[in-house]
Structure 1
Amino acid sequence: MLVYDGDCRFCTTSVTVLQRLLRPDCSVTPWQFADLASLGTTRRRAEYEVLWITPAGTVFGGAQAVARLLLRAGKGWAVLGALLTLPPLRWVAHGVYRIVADNRARLPGGTAACALPADRR
């Protein structure tokens, strides 16, 4: 399951594009409509990063959630997903993800609702 911020237009648009492009075999839901406690995570974490939750309950966040989504999509996407799980690409992906996530309110489609609270930037 992919859990994202449904209040953020940038996030919603990104997820919609990824679903169309990748066609992953998974459920996708905004955190605002998910029972986060039963999924093994918190609102604070869901506000901070996109989440990938496995059927076994393992929670991956941020760039690693994107890597898991790519792995699930199969084909050539799985190769890219696998590469993103390996250092040093994992470290680079994490840095890029944080820059995008921390500035999503400033990106195309971003709104004030996309902004993270100051203590989470």
Structure 2
Amino acid sequence: MRTRPVLVYDGDCGFCTTSVNLAEKHVHPRCSVTAWQFAELDALGVTQERAEYELLWITPTGTVYGGAQAVAKLLLSAGGGWAVLGAVLRLPPVRWIAHGVYRLVADNRQKMPGGTAACALPAARRPGATGS
């Protein structure tokens, strides 16, 4: 059984990798960090589709938080002022706004600083795609 939360991100995305590296350097979350491409997703209880779609925070008991709420959990784990910010991100209406901002960034991450074509969501998961 895991004793630490696991942060799962897209290791093929330059923007995601840079963001996680900055978080590790400046925020110091208390978790293990792994790219989904190197994670045992089945053991973590998540699908590749979900891991491609959003940042994931997986608790030692297997509860999965995605997107902005994964960011909130990351911040909460760091303690101090970061934890205050994480707590605020969990409160409505900030939670709803954070979700919208997260989706906007995630859906356009290939256009963000450090982003490349590899950062783009799979075609079926892009905004406006049929069947998503």
More helix by share: 1
Mind listing any 5+ residue stretches in structure 1 that lack a counterpart? none
Given the alignment, which residue of 64, 84, 87 partners 2:89? 84
Match status 1:97 vs 2:69: no
TM-score (norm 1): 0.98
TM-score (norm 2): 0.90
- Cα offset, 1:66, TM superposition: 0.2
Task: Tell me, in whole angstroms, the C-alpha distance in 2 between the residues paired with 1:11 and 1:44.
Answer: 16
Amino acid at match of 2:61: A
The Cα offsets for residues 58-81 of structure 1, whole Å up to 9 and x where unpaired, read as: 000000000000000000110110
The percentage of counterpart residues that share the same residue type is 73
The Cα offsets for residues 29-75 of structure 1, whole Å up to 9 and x where unpaired, read as: 00000011110100000000000000010000000000000000000
- Cα offset, 1:118, TM superposition: 2.7
Task: Tell me, in whole angstroms, the C-alpha distance in 1 between the residues paired with 2:30 and 2:104.
Answer: 28
Mind listing any 5+ residue stretches in structure 2 that lack a counterpart? 1-5, 127-132
- Cα offset, 1:6, TM superposition: 0.2
Q: Which runs of 4+ in 1 moved over 3 A?
A: none
In the alignment, which residue of structure 1 is the partner of 2:112? 107
Amino acid at match of 1:39: L
Between the two proteins, the alignment pairs up a number of residues equal to 121
